[in-house]
Amino acid sequence: MKRIVIFASGSGTNAENLIKFFHNSDHASVIQILTNNPHAKVLDRAKKLHVSALSFNKIAFTETDDILSILKTSNPDLIVLAGFLWKFPENILNEFPKKVINIHPALLPKYGGKGMYGMHIHEAVVANNEKETGITIHYVNQHYDEGAIIFQAKCDVTHTDSAQDVALKIHELEMEYFPKVIDRLLNE
């Protein structure tokens, strides 16, 4: 059975979608949720769905090997960032090469980098009169949003779309494609 660990910082809708998608799978499951936000709704979702969850602070993540030790014990086949906002430390990336992926709510390389997340991206897409946007699933490296692209899906942006409209379109793409791409990666 392939093992998935999810890192999230917020509400956890992607995490919940992934847990449910793999719940009845005979080849993969979400075994743990890790969050940098002790008040994140993802913790409630994990509890409701009977998945182990843990919150941690910046020191445990960036200045010690505490999180690395937890991951070594969990032995994940894939580490999935689903709305996780901190830069991933090199000690974890070095220990799990080509096993850490992220979903980004834009078509990278556009609208990537530090500070480009959530509504900030959708507002920029609308302000720049983009005709399309989408999602990018990519490997994580030592730079924000610069890892090799695994998959992209696009949606149209109309001249009447608000940032909230764009956010809803992106959410639909995430719900549809993120589990499928993870499933494919685990079967390669």
pLDDT digit string, tens, across residues 59-94: 999 999 999 999 999 999 999 999 998 999 999 999
CATH of the domain at 79: 3.40.50.170
Alpha helix segments (H runs only) across the chain: 13-23, 41-48, 58, 66-74, 90-95, 118-127, 163-186
Q: List beta partners, residue 33.
A: 6, 53
Contact 54, 70 (CB under 8 A): yes
pLDDT digit string, tens, across residues 34-61: 999 999 999 999 999 999 999 999 999 9
Number of domains in the chain: 1
Contact 89, 14 (CB under 8 A): no
Q: The pTM is what?
A: 0.95
How many Å is the Cα radius of gyration of the chain?
A: 16
Q: What is the mean pLDDT of the chain?
A: 96
Residue 46 belongs to domain spanning = 2-186
Burial string for 142-152 (b: 16+ CB within 10 Å, else e) reads: eebbebeebbb
User: pLDDT exceeding 70 applies to what percent of the chain?
Assistant: 100
pLDDT digit string, tens, across residues 145-165: 999 999 999 999 999 999 999
Rounded to an integer, what distance in angstroms lies between the CA atom of residue 95 and that of residue 108? 25
Confidence at residue 188, expressed as pLDDT on a 0 to 100 scale: 85
User: Between the CA of residue 107 and those of 47, 52, 67, 92, 178, what are the distances in Å?
Assistant: 33, 32, 30, 26, 14
